[in-house]
Every structure is written in C-alpha cells, then in structure tokens.
C-alpha cells in the first residue's frame, strides 16, 4: 500500500520553484534555505537538527507537567524578565468591577473564563467534559462560537471582502458566554452528547469515534435564532507561536496548490489587522482568523473575558444591543492606569509571553520504529498539509525568532476537512468546512501537560489515531491510507507523532 515518496518530492520541488520570492534573503541564502527545507529522502536516521524543533529557541528542560511553560531558550536576561511578568498576567484571575484590586477588575460583564491559564491548561490544550453522558459540560476551555447565515440585505457586503469574520447571532453575538458577573444571567449552558461511530481498520481492528452533538440550555436573554450555527472551539497549546508568526509570508503562500495529487490545495485566510486596518495573512486561531499573536491575545481578552485593550477598546466585551443591563454594568478602566482595562504595557507583556513559550526538543528521533512511522507519515502524504520545516524570516519582529530552522509540521493554510468536522461557520475566507492545519510540534507531550486533554478543534478525538480517522475532504486520501495500514504500521505512525 506504500506510495512512492519520489512522486511527492517531485511535486514539492515543482512548487518550490514557483514559490513567491522571499524579500529577506539574497539568492545564495535563498538556495540554501530551499535545500535545507526540502522533504527528506532518507528515513534511516534523523535529519540534521531535527531534534531541535524550534531551533535555538528549543527547550531541553526536564519532561514533566510544566514542559510547555518554559521560555524560549535563546532569550536574554531582559527577555526572561519580560516573560516572567507576562506569565504572571497570563495566570492571574480577573474580577468584576468595581473592586479594590483596581489593576485586576473589569471582568465581563459576560465571560467564559477568569484567566488565560483557565483555558490553556499549563499553556497546553484545554480539556472537554468527559464522554460520560451524565457529566455536565461546564469546562471553560471549550466554548461555542455563534453565527447566522447572511442574506441579500444582511452582511453580504462586509462578508464578501472579509471585513467581518461571520454574522453574529442578533441577541447573543459571536460567542456564547456561559458565565456572568453578579446581577446578570449568563447567556446559557452548553450541553454535549456523543454518538459512537465505528470505523473498520485493516488487520481486523475497529476504532470507535465519538461524534459530538451540541445544544444550548438555559438561555438567559430569550430565544436564539433557529438557524444559528454552533462552532465549538477548544483552547489549543501556546508553544512556538512567535516562531509561527516569524515564518515568511512567501513560504506560506508557496504551499497553496503545492500538492494536487490528492486534491489538496489549501488557501490563505486574509483578515483585517486591527492595528493598521489593512488586510493581511491570517495565521492564528482554528480558522486562521487572526494575523498576529498580539491580536489573537487581544481578541481573547475581549471575547473570552470581556476586557478592553488598545486593539479592542470596548469595555462591555461581547454584550449586544439586546442585552441592555449588560451594557449598563460598570467597567474596570481606571483613569490613573489608562483608558483600557488591559493597558498597552500589560498587553505587551502578555503578547511577549505568548510569543516565547518554548517548544520542547524531540524524543526518540532515531528509534527505528519512530523512523518507520516517519516514512509512513510521508508516504501517506500527511506532509502535504503538515509541512515539516521552515527557516524563519531574517526580518522577524523579535531577534530570537530570526533565521531559525523550525519543524512545526503545518502549512498555516485552510483546508476543507469534510462533512465530519464541518461546523457551518465562516470566518473570513474560511468556510464552514475549512480549518487551519494545526502545528504538530509538542503533540506527543500533550498528556504529560494535561492528562485529560483530547485532540481536534473540539476535543472529540480521545487518541491520536481517532484524530487521524476524523480527517475528510482534502485529507480523505491520507486518512484512507492510514486505515489500510497494518496494525504494526499504524502503531509506528503513532510512535512518530508521539515523538514530536
């Protein structure tokens, strides 16, 4: 069942020849970068520097539950100080206004979490409720985005050029907030039921996937539109974000249409930069709807905690015009601290922290079974979307992120993942079937950090194999090759993923 790797290499080489030019490199350096990032042909041993997944920023700290919480290894003393301050802000609980703790009030009035760390458990993946039908869905790490269809007179002009991500539900906005400050009702409570879906595998094995069905109970502000689409979003890991931002745009765009063998094309999501008002390449969140670590962080402060920032200065967060009492609640901005609940200086610390959480080094990269799994990963054409490596831009904003050979295993593009994973919610150019290819670095340490963590955008996959088996759309052919593998080959493939 194995495919010739040479076919994939030829397609990749053709794409590399046609890729947009990097403006940060001279011709000689460009040739060197293309050579070092070309797909490997040798699966008998690890590639040079492969163990250092994040280049000089890679951490070699002891593997324990804090492995995702270390600073980039190449930060200087001043950078480590900034990181520690940002860490404190990332972890701190915000409270409602007015409060005696004036530097920490302004939460809500509607919110999903009191802190950044509340969703990103130890800077890793969040948890979803267990798959026990009697267990309530009261986790803070999983939230529901809301959207309603557009029409001839509603939102068409804004949606067409990507000016807004999606049309909000008129009463409840773009996100369901399941908590509220004292004196206000929460917007509602998410409930999940799981339906088992058996999948027959080669070798006589059967995997059972768990298909989630979502509903909202205890609506606090009246009926919700019947055609509202629900998009569950689980908090992803935080490691390596600054390096992903440092990948040159030309290298990301070079992945568009780079491998048409399996109908894999990929597309960028062009979004509005809140700082400049210009349309730029989206890189972050599950549908590449945010262009930078700063804007992603500010959006989370606004939508998840109801806190104003310089990029999103609205004090009332996600309160809509239909929630008058919410709009009338006091805010936490203090005149002596600035006009925002999270002033620019604090925002800078949080952004710096989020940009410099270190990626751990690879484990067991030279193990024969891991190398066999890596070969299978290439042969199944998983690398068409999970592009292994890049050399970051010489012009990256932060010196520590410049010109680093990194191994994130993502193309940073949107892909149609099929009906099974579709949520029906658009986000700029992302349709209801599109998701950004998630980076795989650190995936093997997910449960070292959070023992109850699960995978995919809504946590439905209890194992890495289940995550693969949910792939459809552009990834259907790769998924089918995994199904056709022998049990021993599938075990080797998972060993490889667990080594990342």
> Each residue of 151-198: pLDDT tens digit?
544 444 454 444 556 789 999 999 999 999 999 999 999 999 999 999
Low-confidence stretches of the chain (pLDDT < 70) are 1-19, 132-138, 151-165, 260
Phi first, then psi, for residue 59 (nearest 5°) are -100, 140
What is residue 133's predicted lDDT score, i.e. its pLDDT?
58
Print the SS3 string covering 71-99.
ECCCCCHHHHHHHHHHHHHHHCCCECCCC
Rounded distance, CA 246 to CA 394, Å?
9
Rg of the chain over all Cα atoms, to the nearest angstrom: 22
Beta-carbon count within 10 A of 205 CB: 13
pTM tops 0.85: yes
Q: Are 371 and 44 in contact (CB under 8 A)?
A: yes
The domain ranges of the chain are 5-499
For 94-228, where are the E strands, in sequence order? 110-111, 142-147, 175-176, 179-180, 189-200, 206-217
DSSP string, 221-256: SSPPPTT-EEEEEEPPP-TTHHHHHTS-HHHHHTTT
> How far, in Å, CA of 66 to CA of 239, rounded?
12
Q: 20 in helix, strand or coil?
A: coil
Q: Six-digit token pair at 11?
A: 């397609």
pLDDT at position 391 is 98
**Do the beta carbons of residue 410 and residue 438 sit within 8 Å?**
yes
Question: Are the C-beta atoms of 404 and 211 separated by less than 8 Å?
Answer: no
Contact indicator for 127, 242 with CB cutoff of 8 Å: no
Q: Distance between CA atoms of 181 and 184, rounded to whole angstroms? A: 6
CB-based contacts of 346: which residues, under 8 Å, 6+ apart? 89
Given a contact cutoff of 8 angstroms between Cβ atoms, the answer to whether 318 and 300 are in contact is no
pLDDT tens for each residue of 297-352: 999 999 999 999 999 999 999 999 999 999 999 998 887 777 999 999 999 999 99
The predicted structure's pLDDT at residue 129: 80
- Residue 166's nearest CA partner among 189, 147, 185, 181 is 147
Query: With contact defined as beta carbons under 8 Å apart, do 80 and 356 qualify?
Result: no
Compute how many other C-beta atoms are within 10 angstroms of the C-beta atom of residue 9. Answer: 16
């Amino acid at each position: 069942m194995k495919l010739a790797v040479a076919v994939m290499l030829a397609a990749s080489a053709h794409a590399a020849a046609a890729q947009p030019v990097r403006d940060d490199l001279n011709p000689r350096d460009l040739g060197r970068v293309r050579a070092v990032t070309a797909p490997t042909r040798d699966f008998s041993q690890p590639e040079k520097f492969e163990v250092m997944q994040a280049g000089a920023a890679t951490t070699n700290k002891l593997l324990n539950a804090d492995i995702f919480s270390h600073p980039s290894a190449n930060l200087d003393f001043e950078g480590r100080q900034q990181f520690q301050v940002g860490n404190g802000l990332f972890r701190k609980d915000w409270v409602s206004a007015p409060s005696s703790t004036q530097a920490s009030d302004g939460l809500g009035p509607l919110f999903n979490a009191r802190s950044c760390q509340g969703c990103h458990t130890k800077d890793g993946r969040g948890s979803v409720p267990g798959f026990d039908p009697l267990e309530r869905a009261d986790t803070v790490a999983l939230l529901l985005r809301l959207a309603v269809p557009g029409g001839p007179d509603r939102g068409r002009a804004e949606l067409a050029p990507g000016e807004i991500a999606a049309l909000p539900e008129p009463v409840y906005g773009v996100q369901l907030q399941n908590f509220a400050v004292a004196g206000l009702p929460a917007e509602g409570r998410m409930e999940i039921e799981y339906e088992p879906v058996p999948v027959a595998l080669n070798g006589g094995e059967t995997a059972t996937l768990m298909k989630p069905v979502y509903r909202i109970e205890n609506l606090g502000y009246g009926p919700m539109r019947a055609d509202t689409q629900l998009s569950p979003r689980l908090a992803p890991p935080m490691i390596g974000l600054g390096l992903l931002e440092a990948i040159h745009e030309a290298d990301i765009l070079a992945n568009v249409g780079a491998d048409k063998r399996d109908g894999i094309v990929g597309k960028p999501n062009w979004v509005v930069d809140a700082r400049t008002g210009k349309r730029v390449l989206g890189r972050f969140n599950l549908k590449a709807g945010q262009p930078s670590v700063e804007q992603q962080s500010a959006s989370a402060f606004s939508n998840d905690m109801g806190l104003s920032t310089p990029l999103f200065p609205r004090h009332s967060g996600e309160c809509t015009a239909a929630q008058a009492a919410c709009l009338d609640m006091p805010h936490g901005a203090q005149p002596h601290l600035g006009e925002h609940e999270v002033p620019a200086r604090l925002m800078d610390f949080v952004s710096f922290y989020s940009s410099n959480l270190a990626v751990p080094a690879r484990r067991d990269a030279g193990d024969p079974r891991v190398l066999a799994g890596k070969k299978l990963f290439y042969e199944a054409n998983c690398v068409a979307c999970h592009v292994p490596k890049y050399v970051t831009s010489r012009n990256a904003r932060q010196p520590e992120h410049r010109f680093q050979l990194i191994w994130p295993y993502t193309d940073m593009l949107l892909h149609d993942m099929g009906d099974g994973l579709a949520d029906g919610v658009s986000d700029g150019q992302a349709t209801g079937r599109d998701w950004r290819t998630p980076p795989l670095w650190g995936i093997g340490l997910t449960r070292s950090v959070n023992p109850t963590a699960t995978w995919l955008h809504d946590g439905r996959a209890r194992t890495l194999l289940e995550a693969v088996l949910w792939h459809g759309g552009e990834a259907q052919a790769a998924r089918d090759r995994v199904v056709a593998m022998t049990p021993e080959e599938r075990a080797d493939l998972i060993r490889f993923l667990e080594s990342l």
